[in-house]
Structure 1
Amino acid sequence: MSIVSPRERAKAERRDALLAAAARLYAERGFERVSLDDLGSAVGVSGPAVYRHFAGKQAVLAALLVDASAGLLDGARAVLDERADGPSSIPDARSALAALVAFHVAFAVENPDVIRVQSADLESLAETDRHTVRGLQRQYVELWVDVLEALHPDAPRPLLRTRAHAAFGLMNSTPHSARGSARETRALLATMAESALTAPA
């Protein structure tokens, strides 16, 4: 078991703080209108001090969006691994789908700024980083489609993919729709998403 030194812990905390500030500032102003000085100031350091954690503003955006996509993929895999037998029957598939919806809704409610940045500034990423994000997202979608296929065995995968993307649009509406309490928002979005995903084709 590795021991994290206080210096390493402080560095990790500062990196996390910079990413949280970047999500907020990029969401409010847009990526192009935020400088390294703005990011540093938001966490109480100088602009040049940001270089201790990131190669530049592009690297901050890449870390923000790649981390989010990788986190969603890893989280969804963990959700399904808890159901190791897989969605071999309709009850199992419904349970897996409900767990996936709850997981995604929790992310959407807790990270509306990241969702806004993803929507507005994905194209601002360098090509290799954009390719990485899209690859992670495609893998995430296919996990959902696998579960939906068990619920709708006669539906072609392209249509199930469309259904999944439509549900993501609903669940990712939190930058605009989350006006009540987090608990109420989660319950409403989860109910609506599950209804859309389980409705007959």
Structure 2
Amino acid sequence: MARTPPTRRRDQILVEAARLFARQGFHGTSIDGIGAAAGVSGPAIYRHFPSKEGLLAEMLVGISEHLLEGAQGIVAAHPDAAGRLAALIDFQVDFALHRPELITVQDRDLASLPDEARRRVRALQRAYVEIWEDAIARVGPGRSPDEVRTAAHAAFGLMNSTPRSAAHTSAEVAGPVLASMVRAAVAA
């Protein structure tokens, strides 16, 4: 999938589209509505994205790439197992608290992606989860692969529940609570 270089307007359209998709769903959101939220006409969206599906693909592929690249950077910066896992937890909690609309959109609207983009998002997500599984296995040696996988997915379930569980709480309050709970969950 060819990526168009970001611009301020393009980024603004992505942010507003994510907010609207999270609130109204992909199918319940119009191009005109996205344009109005971003301060442009609906047809102006097509200067930046080939279609509404293309906008969704850019959004979900882009955030999946961002998460994977962030995790890879954490692996490179933290050779010690405990530090790596702590940094991964902080990274995902920060994302979940500051971009919960993307979690909602991914959960609800992934099926609306074109097949190629959906496969790309899934591949990026698998690679991200594998980094987490490796980090969890390193801090809890002796766990079976199934136990490690379960711990990783439980951690994501907890952190990614924030669009519902922490929507009315500040990130300053919710962040430390979530991080502490995830540390306890993956250590169990």
Give the TM-score category using the shorter length.
over 0.9
1:70 maps to what in 2?
A: 65
1:159 shift after superposition: 2.2
Q: Using the alignment, how far apart are the partners of 2:169 and 2:27 within structure 1?
A: 31
Give unpaired runs (5+ residues) of structure 2: none
Runs of 4+ aligned residues of structure 1 deviating over 4 Å after TM superposition are none
2:186 equivalent to 1:197: yes
| One-letter identity of the residue aligned with 2:37 | A
1:158 shift after superposition: 2.6
Q: Using the alignment, how far apart are the partners of 1:21 and 1:124 within structure 2?
A: 18
Give unpaired runs (5+ residues) of structure 1: 1-8, 87-91
148-157 vs 27-36, greater mean Cα deviation: 148-157
CA RMSD of aligned residues (A): 1.2
Q: Using the alignment, how far apart are the partners of 1:59 and 1:98 within structure 2?
A: 35
2:177 maps to what in 1?
A: 188
What per-residue deviation string (whole Å, max 9, x for no partner) do you get for residues 145-199 of structure 1? 1111112221122321111011001001111111222111100000000000011
TM-score normalized with structure 1 length: 0.88
TM-score normalized with structure 2 length: 0.94
Q: Using the alignment, how far apart are the partners of 2:143 and 2:169 within structure 1?
A: 36
2:104 maps to what in 1?
A: 116
Q: Using the alignment, how far apart are the partners of 2:102 and 2:48 within structure 1?
A: 19
Q: Using the alignment, how far apart are the partners of 2:28 and 2:169 within structure 1?
A: 30
2:41 equivalent to 1:29: no
Secondary structure of the structure 2 residue equivalent to 1:140: helix
Total equivalences in the alignment: 183
| One-letter identity of the residue aligned with 2:14 | L
1:97 shift after superposition: 0.7
Indicate the percent of aligned positions where both proteins have the same amino acid: 48
Q: Using the alignment, how far apart are the partners of 1:131 and 1:146 within structure 2?
A: 23
Q: Using the alignment, how far apart are the partners of 2:76 and 2:27 within structure 1?
A: 40
1:112 shift after superposition: 0.7
| One-letter identity of the residue aligned with 1:185 | A
1:21 shift after superposition: 0.5
What per-residue deviation string (whole Å, max 9, x for no partner) do you get for residues 75-107 of structure 1? 011111112xx3xxxxx3121111110000000
Select which of 148, 155, 170 maps to 1:160.
148
1:176 maps to what in 2?
A: 164
Q: Using the alignment, how far apart are the partners of 1:157 and 1:140 within structure 2?
A: 16
2:7 maps to what in 1?
A: 12
